[in-house]
């Protein structure tokens, strides 16, 4: 095989591309990963500003038992994983709610704050393994309808809506099946983090990939496929280089990659699909003494009113002309402590809009969010921070190429989870993986791993290995 010829070329070195590359390189296939950035990890990465290391914003790793642990064992990854006792603290206008990594403790807490025993039992039955027998989830139009049917307690309903923020899709649009899968994982197998930093995960995957003979090209943006007789033969990079292979895996933004395929109908169809919302993020560094004022948790949710779903839904539908972001729920996430400081970030849901629109509001939104955090926690970030920086949906788009700066690919609405890009692309040696793959998913890193595994297994089957 020549230096520019491979069995498999993977476009994108995020978690999905790295996992898929590892599984295929491990069985002896010659795999090339092309990554447009100078680092791997995609959404799951860190970056340095003014000498401080900051993380992209991944506050929690769910699905350790079902996805991560299996991967760590299979690929013999040397990585430390820790779990916090309290995964989420939700500051509601009237009270503070805790979600524990052990569901039995969450139930206990819910009882203490006055949530009815029957309501908690219903929640448990929804999360139980045989939920298909408990209720036909498909009979509900949305996750909102499901929650309204199942629960009477306003506080519980609000808590369940806040947790759905993780999927970046409002409850009234969200598939009840996907929501239930997510909720089960979030409430029973959650709260994990990498104490050495989130970037340790992609960097260890990169190391193992190379150890198994995989080739990684950084700063290698694929701009199109080389197609002959309705078959992909190679890829062309932005710098003009060309690489050839038998099979190609798109582990990057699907919209961008299919734009160049000879199928304009597909591009038109994709434009009609809704993406999950994006985010506006404030990254900051605080001295460690401030950390002692906050209880250890993966995420601190600050809920400033009870119209959270309305605000969120109008952003998603693109109806809210006044604000490009939603300050009804602010999520604060924490990075591992360093010797005398720690990094954290405030995240709020946000729409993709023009750069000019975003530049007009960037500093106003920052001020508004920091005021809300100060009121809820007593921490004056502006005064205490050693460093502050903001990121808009454009920043996210710039670093990941994810269409409209989407947090989790296409929105998991009942209609969209049935859409399969793989079935629409007529060139059968191009495969699709990563968080743009639709289906009954829980989203995020577990789904990126799951789709990568499915793609690798499919190729192994086709290869007879
Ligand atoms: C701020 C934020 C917070 C999040 N929080 C959580 C969380 O707490 N828990 C959780 O589970 N998930 C979270 N997620 C979601 C999770 O990070 C992603 O769903 C997951 O990492 C997606 O992995 P991926 O490999 O499918 O895609 P990506 O991470 O998007 O990787 C795609 C890669 O392809 C590269 N690429 C794009 N185009 C090209 C091209 N043309 N040529 C070459 N390379 C290209 C990109 O640079 C990128 O490295 C969060 C995401 C964000 C942005």
**pLDDT for the residue numbered 134:** 55
**pLDDT for the residue numbered 2:** 65
For residues 222 and 254, the answer to whether their CB atoms sit within 8 Å is no
What DSSP character marks residue 410? B
Q: Which residue CA neighbors atom 26 of ligand 1 most closely? A: 434
Number of Cβ within 10 Å of residue 152's Cβ equals: 11
For residues 17 and 445, the answer to whether their CB atoms sit within 8 Å is no
**pLDDT for the residue numbered 53:** 93
DSSP run (H or E) holding 47: strand 46-49
Contacts of residue 364, Cβ cutoff 8 Å, sequence gap at least 6: none
CATH no. for 5-81+197-273+406-463: 3.50.50.60
Q: What is the C-alpha separation between 354 and 390, in angstroms, rounded?
A: 16
Q: Which residue CA neighbors atom 47 of ligand 1 most closely? A: 400
Site to probe by mutation for ligand 1, drawn from 11, 12, 278 as the one with most ligand atoms within 8 Å of Cβ, is: 12
For residues 34 and 9, the answer to whether their CB atoms sit within 8 Å is yes
For residues 455 and 461, the answer to whether their CB atoms sit within 8 Å is no
**pLDDT for the residue numbered 291:** 86
For residues 216 and 135, the answer to whether their CB atoms sit within 8 Å is no
The tokens for 10 are: 């993977």
Q: Give the three-class secondary structure for 226.
A: strand
DSSP count for the chain of H helices, then E strands = 18, 18
Q: Which residue CA neighbors atom 35 of ligand 1 most closely? A: 12
Report how far ligand 1's centroid is from the alpha carbon of 222 (Å).
16
φ, ψ of residue 230 in degrees (nearest 5):
60, 30
CA dihedral over 140, 317, 179, 116, signed as positive or negative: negative
Q: What is the C-alpha separation between 358 and 355, in angstroms, rounded?
A: 5
Report how far ligand 1's centroid is from the alpha carbon of 41 (Å).
7
Closest CA to 449 of 11, 21, 6, 82: 21
φ, ψ of residue 447 in degrees (nearest 5):
-70, -35
Residue by residue, pLDDT tens for the chain (465 residues) are 667 999 999 999 999 999 999 999 999 999 999 999 999 999 999 999 999 999 999 999 999 988 999 999 999 999 999 999 999 999 998 899 999 999 999 999 999 999 999 999 999 988 885 656 656 777 899 999 999 998 999 999 999 999 999 999 999 999 999 999 999 999 999 999 999 999 999 999 999 999 999 999 999 999 999 999 989 999 999 999 999 999 999 999 988 888 878 777 888 888 889 999 999 999 999 999 998 888 999 999 999 876 788 889 989 988 766 789 999 999 999 998 888 999 999 999 999 999 999 999 999 999 999 999 999 999 999 999 999 999 999 999 999 999 999 999 999 999 999 888 888 888 989 999 999 999 998 899 999 999 999 999 999 999 887
Centroid of chain to Cα 4:
33
- Using CB distances shorter than 6 Å, the residues near ligand 1 are 11-17, 34-37, 42-44, 56-60, 62, 221-222, 251-253, 256, 279, 396, 400-402, 407-408, 434-435, 444-445, 448
């Amino acid at each position: 095989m020549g230096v520019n010829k491979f069995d498999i070329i993977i476009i994108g070195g995020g978690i999905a591309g790295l996992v898929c590359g590892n599984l295929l390189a491990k069985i002896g296939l010659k795999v090339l990963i092309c990554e447009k950035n100078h680092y791997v990890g995609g959404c799951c990465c860190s970056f340095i500003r003014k000498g401080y290391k900051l993380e992209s914003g991944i506050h929690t790793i769910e699905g350790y038992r079902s996805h991560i642990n299996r991967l760590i064992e299979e690929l013999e990854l040397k990585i430390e994983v820790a779990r916090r006792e309290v995964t989420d603290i939700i500051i509601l206008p009237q009270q503070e709610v805790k979600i524990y990594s052990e569901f039995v403790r969450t139930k206990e807490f819910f009882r203490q704050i006055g949530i009815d025993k029957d309501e908690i039992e219903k929640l448990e039955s929804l999360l139980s393994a045989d939920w298909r027998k408990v209720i036909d989830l498909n009979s509900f139009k949305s996750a909102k309808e499901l929650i309204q049917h199942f629960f009477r307690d306003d506080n519980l309903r609000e808590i369940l809506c806040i947790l759905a923020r993780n999927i970046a899709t409002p409850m009234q649009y969200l598939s009840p099946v996907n929501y239930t899968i997510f909720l089960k994982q979030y409430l029973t197998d959650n709260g994990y983090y990498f104490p050495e930093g989130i970037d340790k995960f992609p960097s260890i995957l990169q190391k193992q990939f190379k150890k198994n003979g995989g080739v990684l090209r950084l700063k290698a943006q694929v701009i199109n496929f080389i197609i002959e007789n309705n078959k992909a033969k190679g890829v062309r990079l932005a710098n003009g280089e060309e690489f050839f292979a038998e099979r190609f895996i798109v582990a990057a933004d699907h919209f961008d990659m299919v734009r160049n395929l000879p199928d304009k109908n597909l591009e038109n169809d994709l434009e009609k699909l809704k993406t999950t919302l994006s985010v506006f993020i404030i990254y900051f560094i605080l001295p460690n003494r401030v950390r002692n004022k906050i209880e250890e948790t993966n995420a601190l949710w600050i809920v400033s009113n009870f119209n959270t779903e309305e605000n969120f839904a109008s952003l998603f539908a693109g109806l809210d002309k006044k604000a490009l972001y939603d300050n009804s729920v602010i999520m604060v996430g924490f990075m591992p402590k360093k010797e005398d400081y720690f990094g954290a970030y405030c995240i709020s849901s946000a729409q993709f809009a023009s750069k000019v629109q975003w530049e007009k509001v960037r500093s106003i939104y920052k001020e508004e969010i920091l005021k809300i955090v100060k009121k809820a926690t007593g921490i004056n970030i502006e005064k205490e921070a050693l460093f502050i920086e903001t990121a808009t949906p454009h920043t996210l788009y710039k670093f990941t190429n994810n269409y409209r700066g989407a947090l989790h690919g296409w929105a998991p609405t009942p209609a969209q989870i049935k859409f399969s890009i793989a079935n629409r692309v007529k060139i059968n040696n191009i495969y699709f993986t990563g968080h743009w793959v639709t289906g009954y998913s829980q989203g995020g890193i577990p789904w990126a791993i799951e789709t990568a595994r499915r793609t690798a297994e499919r190729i192994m089957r086709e290869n007879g290995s």
